[in-house]
Structure 1
């Protein structure tokens, strides 16, 4: 019989042996694709040690514009060269003749290569279809002509589309039941984040070859094409953006040096986003610096006199728009003489056209005396406050939101403010606690142009499978809640048009545009100062053509001095751009 000490050692040895067996089984059999808390794919890692590869498509879903043009990526016909070419005698002369690339450049690029590459990266040499066909007909090992997907250096509507990144902790938090590697790309902002679950890769398409320790071919020079072979993935998210229009709008925003602000352009017919520009722009090397990642068009801002549209709607319905009544526009809200904007005595219509503060401060006070919630009710009726972006139940997600980071806007923050006459008068001209997003302001104009019909704003119309069939639609949807009457909408339409037609109106700059414009200006005090001077938010919001509305447009410049601002020029140039585009399509 063995001594107890020996028995004990044998037991310990057996336990250790069993643990080792279990560990090896775990590595080899149970969790080879998601090993440890970091979900490391051991199969992939082992393959990496003995292969070299070139990723053709990372497998993440794509964003398209409304016409099918790719937004986030581009596909380029490229010349792919493998590093083992330096170890063999290959027909560089024929490749040079077909591509036009000098022989010495081709050889030099291969000599410096440690892994497969597309010639010319990061700006790859682009080949024609004919060149591709002739290159592949040569059948030179390690020389291929393929179509490869590249991320664009400049992405249109980048804050709306959003950014992606690698974050192992967030991957495991979002998708605890999915076996994803730690370096899986996920959306971190914008539509990339909202639609992330649909965009996750099913696998990568790549060219692979096996190497020995010195990088030489291990099993000859056979290069394999690896593809998930799934006809449905990656999906395409079809946005409502117009890529060409978006790029031209961004050029105009930058032309007028709008460093903080931007524009929103809606297609009134289906209430979708045609273009959206937000500044400051994203700095790719440091996206969280300078707030560039923030979509300013979805964040609440002080809107100033644009809010007088809400007060006007409430005044019309409460019979406070008597055309014979005159308001003393030679006085400020506090009753003191108005020096800078002394308009004398004005009626309701001219007060709106010239944006008289005294008129709409008094009207707001009269309205609130009867109902402390009347301004908020009419702001909601005009879709100015509350979420306006598309939301609903889809797939297995309830209350899905296309604009996940959209602010809701507000009129008052407390009962005290609702009942304080001074605060109410300030609110009547869009100051004090009044806030709204540029997206909501654009939607208010679209609502008025449609005769009072409120609709959700879409930035995505559908998700398509890889083979082009529809996976999911995002149909037009009405916004819940009360709306203004067709009569009130018609009255507001005339008021907004008068802003432009009145020789002294705040929109007189738009009288000679190719489309008839209706709209409202806004100059809001921000309470911020720079170099001892007050900063303002400058707005113009409107729609056109007036008789047959197609577009709702908001241009806004934030935190500028009183004598600065380019929103009128920006608004006018967008109108001209759309007119030229319309003529070009006829």
Structure 2
């Protein structure tokens, strides 16, 4: 009997030793760890979008430091709350703390016993270009959001352990990883300031040689609609395309404008029925003679004019970055243009034609760069977590217009500014070239037709560096609405 008890005791001892040994192995072995999320509570202090930079490497977003206090449901923290915050705010915080968990509130300074962490807000005039709400570049960059949090241990009932001050988790917060855009910080501010007179519209500036987007302003600036990339009625700015097509086909002639022309059973007028008299291609562009360009479009024919427009990017989409597909413009179909009436409208930028300020600025870049087309670009480089930078290659160029055509067209555009409809765009020193437009929309408000007005300009005209497009919704005329904005930008460039 005693031998049986001895055997049983030995078995129990061996079993206890095995369990004790296994427990020791689990405790001290690196092969077994408890998940950070197990028996813990995570308090989010801030979540930021991936980082974007101006071309000078300064921050576009996550650029304004703010202080946030982490407030625990303890006697000491409650005493601090009563000292720092006004009565209503303090009472609100106390109500939140009744849930038994820490809360986060902004605080004016670090002069407190509370734990204070620095978070970052965004202050930018590039909201429509970058934000996820506008399907901007942050929707397409493919990087994770940056999170700042504090982790606490909790007991089996979910209560934070007494004396636990929490562990700050910020390894990815305010990471240097992100994208360097082509946006010039100073030029962006110049454009934004100059556009104060625009209640609704857009300004876009591009590098004349590389087609990089240097500035992008949308008005009103408190919305998320990116009008610089949206399509609008174009009007006479499109006469640049018709002129380019004529020059490429060696077509230039004199025409007597009587203020109106009939195509089929429709009468088309020059603005305010103005009779321009005898005009050629250069003067017709300068005075924006609709009758001349209607006749010119009919002489050129639909195939040539539509082909030139397509070669210059009209009716085509661009992949601006990482699958960000932009529909920059729409042109009439070949079937549409079998109608002489539709072709007449196309010749002076009306009818079924729509385009974005981005597309019109791209057109200017092609004209300015000896007829070579480069796809517009917005992202200059990728910045890694360690700070290293990988530059992106510029898109390949495509020859669209002859160098002679481009040079002649720039001279014609200079004449528009010096002697034509764009006198308001000129400055005292370096000279610009460009084209105005007052586009009919077919939309009416209180019996009045709404016009979209434009100025598309190149500066300086004889050695192009900048292509600038100003578009105003529901305007009066390109000369009155848009030329002054362009001139202000150029005057700042000259300083």
TM-score of the two chains, using structure 2 as the length reference: 0.80
Q: Is 1:572 equivalent to 2:487 in the alignment?
A: yes
The answer as to whether partners of 1:211 and 1:218 remain within 8 angstroms in 2 is: yes
Instruction: From 38, 41, 62, give the equivalent of 1:73.
Output: 62
Give the match for residue 445 of structure 2: 530
SS in 1 for 2:415: helix
Deviation at 1:68, TM superposition (A): 2.1
SS in 2 for 1:524: strand
Instruction: From 177, 198, 205, give the equivalent of 1:265.
Output: 205
Give the match for residue 411 of structure 1: 331
SS in 1 for 2:333: coil
CA distance in 1, matches of 2:82, 2:430: 57
Cα deviation, 1:408-454, whole Å, max 9, x if unaligned, reads: 42332242x32322221211000112222210100111111111111
The answer as to whether partners of 1:52 and 1:209 remain within 8 angstroms in 2 is: yes
The answer as to whether partners of 1:268 and 1:446 remain within 8 angstroms in 2 is: yes
Cα deviation, 1:44-64, whole Å, max 9, x if unaligned, reads: 5x65xx5363525x3642122
SS in 2 for 1:73: coil
Give the match for residue 334 of structure 1: 262
Give the match for residue 39 of structure 1: none
Instruction: From 273, 277, 283, give the equivalent of 1:344.
Output: 277
SS in 2 for 1:430: coil
CA distance in 2, matches of 1:467, 1:191: 22
Give the match for residue 143 of structure 1: 115
- Stretches of structure 1 that go unaligned for 5 or more consecutive residues are 1-41, 93-101, 165-187, 283-291, 392-399, 581-586
Q: Is 1:475 equivalent to 2:393 in the alignment?
A: yes
The answer as to whether partners of 2:70 and 2:115 remain within 8 angstroms in 1 is: yes
The answer as to whether partners of 1:452 and 1:485 remain within 8 angstroms in 2 is: yes
The answer as to whether partners of 2:188 and 2:216 remain within 8 angstroms in 1 is: yes
CA distance in 2, matches of 1:447, 1:578: 22
After superposition, the Cα gap between the structure-2 partners of 1:149 and 1:516, relative to the gap in structure 1 and judged at 3 Å, is same
The answer as to whether partners of 2:438 and 2:476 remain within 8 angstroms in 1 is: no
Q: Which is worse superposed, 204-213 or 296-305?
A: 204-213
CA distance in 1, matches of 2:245, 2:478: 32
The answer as to whether partners of 1:54 and 1:116 remain within 8 angstroms in 2 is: no
Deviation at 1:345, TM superposition (A): 1.3
TM-score of the two chains, using structure 1 as the length reference: 0.68
Give the match for residue 557 of structure 1: 472
Give the match for residue 144 of structure 2: 200
Cα deviation, 1:12-60, whole Å, max 9, x if unaligned, reads: xxxxxxxxxxxxxxxxxxxxxxxxxxxxxx975x65xx5363525x364
SS in 1 for 2:360: helix
After superposition, the Cα gap between the structure-2 partners of 1:230 and 1:52, relative to the gap in structure 1 and judged at 3 Å, is closer
Give the match for residue 83 of structure 1: 72
- Stretches of structure 2 that go unaligned for 5 or more consecutive residues are 1-34
Instruction: From 405, 408, 411, give the equivalent of 1:488.
Output: 405
Instruction: From 114, 117, 125, give the equivalent of 2:108.
Output: 125
After superposition, the Cα gap between the structure-2 partners of 1:149 and 1:326, relative to the gap in structure 1 and judged at 3 Å, is same
Cα deviation, 1:81-109, whole Å, max 9, x if unaligned, reads: 4335633799x7xxxxxxxxx99326977
Q: Which has the higher strand share?
A: 2
CA RMSD between the two structures: 3.4
CA distance in 2, matches of 1:86, 1:516: 71
The answer as to whether partners of 2:422 and 2:479 remain within 8 angstroms in 1 is: no
CA distance in 2, matches of 1:105, 1:79: 13
Q: Which is worse superposed, 513-522 or 559-568?
A: 559-568
After superposition, the Cα gap between the structure-2 partners of 1:408 and 1:271, relative to the gap in structure 1 and judged at 3 Å, is closer
Paired residues in the alignment total: 449
Q: Is 1:53 equivalent to 2:53 in the alignment?
A: no
CA distance in 2, matches of 1:252, 1:262: 11
Deviation at 1:330, TM superposition (A): 2.1
CA distance in 1, matches of 2:259, 2:387: 63
Give the match for residue 163 of structure 1: 132
Give the match for residue 183 of structure 1: none
After superposition, the Cα gap between the structure-2 partners of 1:492 and 1:388, relative to the gap in structure 1 and judged at 3 Å, is farther
SS in 1 for 2:374: coil
Q: Is 1:104 equivalent to 2:50 in the alignment?
A: no
After superposition, the Cα gap between the structure-2 partners of 1:549 and 1:88, relative to the gap in structure 1 and judged at 3 Å, is closer
CA distance in 1, matches of 2:478, 2:313: 31
After superposition, the Cα gap between the structure-2 partners of 1:269 and 1:570, relative to the gap in structure 1 and judged at 3 Å, is same
Alignment of 1:242-281 (within 5 A): 242-253=184-195, 255-259=196-200, 261-281=201-221
CA distance in 1, matches of 2:173, 2:418: 59
The answer as to whether partners of 1:77 and 1:126 remain within 8 angstroms in 2 is: no
CA distance in 1, matches of 2:77, 2:408: 80
Give the match for residue 24 of structure 2: none
Deviation at 1:357, TM superposition (A): 0.9
After superposition, the Cα gap between the structure-2 partners of 1:72 and 1:353, relative to the gap in structure 1 and judged at 3 Å, is same
The answer as to whether partners of 2:413 and 2:433 remain within 8 angstroms in 1 is: yes
After superposition, the Cα gap between the structure-2 partners of 1:466 and 1:107, relative to the gap in structure 1 and judged at 3 Å, is farther
Deviation at 1:535, TM superposition (A): 1.4
CA distance in 1, matches of 2:423, 2:319: 31
Q: Which is worse superposed, 491-500 or 311-320?
A: 311-320
CA distance in 2, matches of 1:236, 1:488: 41
Give the match for residue 173 of structure 1: none
Give the match for residue 63 of structure 1: 52
Q: Is 1:226 equivalent to 2:166 in the alignment?
A: no
SS in 2 for 1:475: coil
SS in 1 for 2:355: coil
After superposition, the Cα gap between the structure-2 partners of 1:539 and 1:467, relative to the gap in structure 1 and judged at 3 Å, is same
Q: Is 1:422 equivalent to 2:411 in the alignment?
A: no
Give the match for residue 515 of structure 1: 430
